[in-house]
Amino acid sequence: MKIYKLLILSLIVLGTTCLSAQNPIVRNQFSADPTARVFNGKVYVFPSHDIPTPKDQKQLRKDWFCMADYHVFSSDNLTDWTDHGMIVAQNKVKWVDSTSYSMWAPDCIERNGKYYFYFPANKNQSDANGRKGFGIGVAIADKPEGPYNPLPEPIKGVNGIDPNVFIDKDGQAYLYWALGNIFVAKLKDNMTELASEPMIIANLPQKGLKEGPFLFERKGIYYLTIPHVENKIERLEYAIGNNPMGPFKMAGVVMDESPMNCWTNHQSFVEYKGQCYLFYHQDAYSPKFDKNRSICADSLFFNSDGTIRKVTPTLRGVGVTKASQKIEIDRYSLKSQTGSSVAFLDSIQTFNGWKAILNGPNAWIQYNTVDFGNNKLKKVHVKALSENGSTLQVRLDKADGQLIAEIKIPKGKSWNTVEAKVSKFQTGIHNLIVVQKDENQVEIDWIQFK
């Protein structure tokens, strides 16, 4: 119980409640540009949906973004996500060029019981000013998961991508979007028309691409967050102000450039059950082609002066994992400096996920925040492979913490699910550590308690 108490204590000090889902959170398709919102007590994520370029679509660039529709996902524990299926598709919106595969970063907001889904896409006709390019459309639903009814025209007066909508405490709604600069305009109460002329937001970096605005307010401070190319690829930056239309002043970096070299990033911020989270994307399932991306979430903390503490992307992500679920320890929190690594189970079928590899005496890998519950779990199952056979120890809280099971992985060239006895069960939430006891390489897919 010690770690659990420590967790609670540190949360009290930070003034927040921390849950600590594995990244990436969508595991059966590519997903990018996540906008997370809390509706009716659940977190809903509205990402864009990357796909590999269909071979028969000769008009499309093979090295570019390819997106034909949107899905919405929800969770009430940030660990288990439900895909509610496709909500808007390019061939179902009257004004969208249905051969453009250009359904980029969306947003969704609730007003008076209606859900307004904003999305950019290429127009199939020029507007009154002779402009084609990207427009921003709205689809409306009675429930966050839809069905959504797309309006027949895009919003008049808006050319650009990456819509974001903010409703201030006085009820005024604002639409932000990007096209070289970051733009803002007031929205009418109907949420589908501009109520003011678009204005370029001043004082943002002049050099380097900026896009993907997301604005939120906390304790009277308005945070305008953007992906910006300061060097070679995008990083997440923010500016602060005391009005939703600015002026804003650049205030820092929320997340550095992707360690995996993913050229884009795209953010949203949400508070859920007292904890703030940053949703963003990387290219975890497609490390060689960064236009097929995957969304992630990590906890976010503020300093007492309102500045944002930089977020380091993790594999572990957020949420509590039940000990009775298959625990993918390759989404580790910590690992030994030597003898431990992670690799795809199948480098072609990357959605099969990853494996942890331990290769050295005392190599270990740690997965935090596992809930063992109150009822005694008697067995542990491990899916593992070891050509020469190996012994694993399962410990709690730290590499030399309480030993709860020892598992002998038999010699063999194929994967086995091996069962062992839990010798010392402990209730509550613990960090789980798997330690190798010999020098024979062992690969681990998952571990589960029964």
266 binds ligand FUB (CB under 6 A): yes
Report which residue's Cβ sits closest to ligand FUB.
Answer: 104
How far apart CA 223 and CA 131 sit, in angstroms, is 31
Coil, strand or helix: which one is 336?
A: coil
For ligand FUB, the closer CB: 48 or 340: 48
Which among 244, 256, 243 has a CA at the least distance from the CA of 309? Answer: 256
176 binds ligand FUB (CB under 6 A): no
Which parts of 97-116 interact with ligand FUB (CB under 6 A)?
104-105
For ligand FUB, the closer CB: 211 or 328: 211
Coil, strand or helix: which one is 113?
A: coil
Tokens standing for residue 137: 């459309």
Coil, strand or helix: which one is 277?
A: strand
217 is catalytic: no
Which parts of 49-88 interact with ligand FUB (CB under 6 A)?
65
236 binds ligand FUB (CB under 6 A): no
212 binds ligand FUB (CB under 6 A): yes
Least Å from the CB of residue 190 to ligand FUB: 25
47 binds ligand FUB (CB under 6 A): no
Among 69, 211, 283, 290, binds ligand FUB (CB under 6 A): 211
For ligand FUB, the closer CB: 104 or 332: 104
Integer Rg of the chain from CA: 24
Which parts of 326-385 interact with ligand FUB (CB under 6 A)?
none
Which among 393, 396, 416, 397 has a CA at the least distance from the CA of 405? Answer: 393
121 binds ligand FUB (CB under 6 A): no
CA within 13 Å, CB half, 381 = 12
CA 389 from centroid of its chain's CA atoms: 37
33 is catalytic: yes
Residues making up the chain, counted from first to last: 450
Among 31, 159, 192, 264, binds ligand FUB (CB under 6 A): 264
For ligand FUB, the closer CB: 46 or 354: 46
How far apart CA 93 and CA 96 sit, in angstroms, is 6
134 binds ligand FUB (CB under 6 A): no
How far apart CA 270 and CA 35 sit, in angstroms, is 9
Q: Using CB under 6 A as the criterion, which residues of the chain lie in contact with ligand FUB when the complex forms?
A: 32-33, 48, 65, 104-105, 161-162, 211-212, 264, 266
Active-site residue numbers?
Answer: 33, 211
